[in-house]
Each structure stands twice: as structure tokens, then as C-alpha cells.
Amino acid sequence: MDRIQHKFVKVGDALNIHVAEIGSGGNAVVFLHGFPEIWYSWRHQMIALADAGFRAIAFDYRGYGLSDPPPQLEKATWSDIHNDLLHILQALHLPKALFLSLKCVFLVGKDFGARPAHLFSILHPERVLGVVTLGVPFVPPGPSLFHKVLPEGFYILRWKEPGRAEADFGRFDIKTVVRNIYILFSRSEIPIANEKQEIMDLVEPDTPLPSWFTEEDLAMYSALYEKSGFKNALQVPYRSFAEVFNLPDKVVRVPALFILGEKDYFLKFPGIEDLTKGEKAREHVPNLEVTFIPEGTHFVQEQFPEQVNRLILDFLTKHT
């Protein structure tokens, strides 16, 4: 961990984005985290890829971890992630001629970080060698249908409602909220509360952490969320699903690898199985490889780091 260097990239006049980096290879790999994660969730992958000769970069989104919050929270969008990613690539001095001609960047996205990874490859296909996503496949942008197919207590519907999650989380300290979400998202069932429950009530106080998630890990996440809070994490992604993207194409045409744990609760979302196991998946991502990890949960890169590292490295080597 001491080998990972930290810096800040300025976006615009005053916004500082925290960036973690290791390695000096010619090809860069940029990691895009999910929730409740931050750059630290990629620690195992960053070190492994740097040791294999790649330049590994991970950043905290606006309002996450050590990055500054957006100037106007209510106007924060998914597009901010695309724009910040572009600024980071330029600020880290990837040679422009090499960058544009040889496509020296891979994107690796987890959970909702899969969306900006996929969309950035559509918006900037000349910049991207390939995309790896974990936990969430490519879902073509469109109106959210969760309210039509899942009950009111579905966690995304609850967290989408302004003030609901704030009141729920506010009953506990930051460490307990992070702990509860990690436990919830490590299960194989979709988090759904009943009418008289809040999402945090789905975890009993004496529930142990997953065996692969240490107290030290929890302390790291908690310390970073103590700084940032959860306001922007609730805005992006949960309150921004209606954002409209002006895409030149709706197909991910770069090579893509999708890694999913077979015990990941996301696999039970309506329609997701078709986007992971069926031919429909390759309608939107024609150059797609799919790998399932039998005991894997939603945090598969932290749960089985060596296996995930090998899958990612094999994909990068194949497409370098």
C-alpha cells in the first residue's frame, strides 16, 4: 500500500479530484469505483497490475473520499465522472500523440462505475483499448423501470427519495453505515425492506463482517466517508438515473470483459440475466467475454483478488 502514490488533479478553477497511482508502464488502466467504495477498493488490482508492467490509476469521484464535493450538489450528474476522467487523463501527462494513435487506456469499472466505463468508451472510442466491468453489465441508457418491477422497499427506490436515506443513515455513525452496506451487498438477495423498516434495519447489530473484509478495511472506508459524507453518493448514482446521454452510438464496440460472482444479488435484478448470459448481451457489446466466479458476491474484486487479478491481466495482455 505504501507504494501507491496520491495526488490531486484540479478540474476547472477550484475542484480537486483525488487520484491514486502506481506503476509506470506504457499502457494505463483507470479504475472506476462503485458504492460504498472509493479508490481503496481497487488496492489489490492496482498493485498486481503495476507489478505486471501497467500504470494503475484510481480516483475518488466528486464528493467521494478525498475529492472535493461538486459546487452544486443538486446538479451533480454521471457526466461529471466522464468529464473528470478526461481531465485526469490529460493531467497525468499521457503523451497525446501516443494516446490518440495507440489507445493506451483500459477502463475497469465496478458496480455503478461500469456505466461511466462503458459510456466513456462510446463517447471516446479512439481513447480506449478495452473495458472490464464487475458486477454490472452494460445496460443501455433509458428510463428507470425499477418502480414497475420491484417493491417500494427496494433499496434504490428508498435511496432515490430525497431525505429518506439521510434520515436512515443519520441514526448511526459513519462506520456502522459502511459496515451495514458492505454486509447487505455481500448477500445473494436484493436488499428490500418492508413497509415499517428502513434499509439499515436489514442488518442486525451483531452480524459479522464478511470474512474477506477486515476491521482495518472498514476503518479506511469509514475515515474517508467521515470526510465526504454520503450526500454526493446518494445524488450520483441513486438520484441521477434519469440523466439523458447524447450518445453517438448505443453499442460498446471496444473489447469488453464482464466478471460476475454467481452469488451477486445484482444477478437477480429483472432483466439482468439476459444481459449477462443471453445473446441479448452481445447485441449491445459484440466483443464481450463473460466470466462467472462461483462463490463470488458483489465485491468480488476484494473477495477473490487473485482470481480477479488474473482475469483482468489475461484480458489486458490479450488486447495490448
pLDDT tens per residue, range 178-203: 999 999 999 999 999 999 999 999 99
> Considering only CA atoms, which of 199, 202, 201, 200 is closest in space to residue 153?
199
Q: What percent of the chain has pLDDT over 70?
A: 97
* Arithmetic mean of pLDDT, 32-57: 97
- Give tens-digit pLDDT for 129-139: 999 999 999 99
Asked if 75 and 69 touch (Cβ cutoff 8 Å), the reply is no
Cell 480537486 locates to: 16
Which position among 60, 80, 84, 111 bears the catalytic label?
Answer: 111
* Arithmetic mean of pLDDT, 113-119: 97
> Considering only CA atoms, which of 80, 136, 133, 119 is closest in space to residue 248?
119
Which position among 118, 238, 264, 265 bears the catalytic label?
Answer: 238
* Arithmetic mean of pLDDT, 40-65: 97
Average pLDDT, the chain: 92
pLDDT category of residue 144 using cuts at 50, 70 and 90:
confident
Least confident of 56-60, 97-101, 283-287, 295-299: 97-101
Asked if 234 and 267 touch (Cβ cutoff 8 Å), the reply is no
Catalytic residue flag (residue 265): no
57 versus 126: the higher-pLDDT residue is 57
| pLDDT value, residue 93 | 67
| pLDDT value, residue 275 | 86
pLDDT category of residue 98 using cuts at 50, 70 and 90:
very low
Burial of residue 39 (CB within 10 Å: 0-12, 13-18, 19+) is buried
pLDDT category of residue 101 using cuts at 50, 70 and 90:
very low
Checking if the pLDDT of 289 tops 90, the result is: yes
Checking if the pLDDT of 97 tops 50, the result is: no
**Using alpha carbons only, how large is the chain's radius of gyration in Å?**
18
Reply yes or no: is the peptide bond before residue 69 cis, omega within 30 of 0: no
Catalytic residue flag (residue 111): yes
CB-hemisphere CA count at 13 Å for 6?
12
Burial of residue 98 (CB within 10 Å: 0-12, 13-18, 19+) is exposed
| pLDDT value, residue 100 | 45
Greatest alpha-carbon span in the chain: 58
| pLDDT value, residue 105 | 93
Catalytic residue flag (residue 201): no
101 versus 169: the higher-pLDDT residue is 169
Residue type, 140: P
| pLDDT value, residue 94 | 58
- Give tens-digit pLDDT for 217-246: 999 999 999 989 999 999 999 999 888 888
| pLDDT value, residue 244 | 87
